Amino acid sequence: MKYNFDEVIKRIGTDSEKWESGGHGNVYFDENSLSFSIADMDFALAPAIDKAIRDRLDKKVLGYTEVATKEFRASVCGWFKRRFDWDIDGKLIYTVTGVMPGVRLAIDKLSEEGDGVVIQQPVYPPFMGSIKTLKRKIVVNQLIKDENNFYTINFDELESQLADPHNKIMLLCSPHNPVGRVWSEQELCKIADLCHKYGVVLVSDEIHCDLLRVGAKHTPIAKLRPDYDIITCVSPSKTFNIAGLEIANMIFTNEKLRVKTVGAGGMQCANPLSISALLGAYNDSEDWLDEVRVYLDGNLKFLKNWLEENLPKVKYRIPDGTFLAWLDVSAYQPDSEKFAKDCGKGGIIIEQGDVFGNGGKGFIRFNVATPRSIIAEGLERMKKVVENYK
């Protein structure tokens, strides 16, 4: 490989949420803990992004910065055309500080207090938090899990929920965090058609769209149904490990929906370093991403082989997308909160499954976007925790 993803980079002293608090203030975290919690990577920045930021600093001024430039729009449109064969109208891109701020903006502008928002649990916890904060109603379309930890959608239930006139928005997680499904085009079309049939706005969080297993294919749902009311939220933050720079894009399928969500003017002013980072990522870092994907595939296979040999009762299916493993540890400890606390005491920080909502009990989420040596050490610590249950 051209890039060295085995390099262990010490993140203590960088104000890392993942490595200096363990994520969400884990009470058992200390400087000797290994963290597999917050969903960012522990790999060095892509050189082209590093250069783009340094070159921007050389210009010596960091004033108010216009984001809606031809160069910026061409970079975003070019990326999605090359990677997904998706044609985007650059005028329908609206830049925000993150995917979840974009999701919250959509909920706030496209529904009223008390309206229902449909989500599919287990799912990324800020979905629930955002809906509650905005005083909307959480409507759960529970994902169906088979004995192999493969998840599918309960479409009969989904249609009845979307048919309810009180439910105004559906939040789709695609690829899905934490279960790792990359939804098929057939599934995506069915979701979009149902939302359109009942006048429900579809907001699709596709932040993990670039992080697929080698050979897997993600299709933006708006590409399949460009005539429907769909907002796609994307970002280079997960893809290129620049989440701390806070930049994301909302991509609308039509001008009417854009204006309704962000206003006629839609003034955008972004961090100049974030803009430079996005340009360095989308224009010059595809080779870095391609190698990251190969390395992540290796980490996920390593995890699966290790578990089969050392903790065979853990149920685990390699995800289609994301760098997050969704592990069923219930055979060893059905209480995922207790399992997470015991792991914390044992020097390994993971995400407990019950925070992802219904269907998360007995599961943990494990981030593999880190050097393989760190994973190996973390798993040994987890093994010691499990041995104490015997």
pLDDT band at 107 (very low <50, low <70, confident <90, very high): very high
Helical residues (DSSP H) of the chain, grouped into ranges: 17-20, 47-57, 70-84, 99-110, 125-133, 155-163, 185-197, 221-224, 237-240, 255-262, 272-284, 286-310, 336-345, 372-387
Above 80 in pLDDT, residue 29? no
Q: What is the pLDDT of residue 30?
A: 79
What are residue 205's phi and psi, to 5 degrees?
-85, 105
Q: What is the pLDDT of residue 26?
A: 62
Residue-wise pLDDT tens digits, 266-290: 556 789 999 999 999 999 999 999 9
Rg of the chain over Cα atoms, rounded to whole angstroms, equals 21
Tell me the average pLDDT across 112-130. 98
Closest CA to 151 of 125, 172, 182, 129: 182
Cα torsion 96, 98, 101, 106: sign: positive
Closest CA to 343 of 308, 294, 378: 378
d(CA 79, CA 82): 5
d(CA 167, CA 199): 9
Q: How distant is the alpha carbon of residue 29 from its chain centre? A: 24
Q: What is the pLDDT of residue 22?
A: 57
Residue-wise pLDDT tens digits, 65-100: 888 789 999 999 999 999 999 999 999 999 999 999
Amino acid at 265: G
- Residue 387 in tokens: 């041995």
Q: What is the pLDDT of residue 20?
A: 80
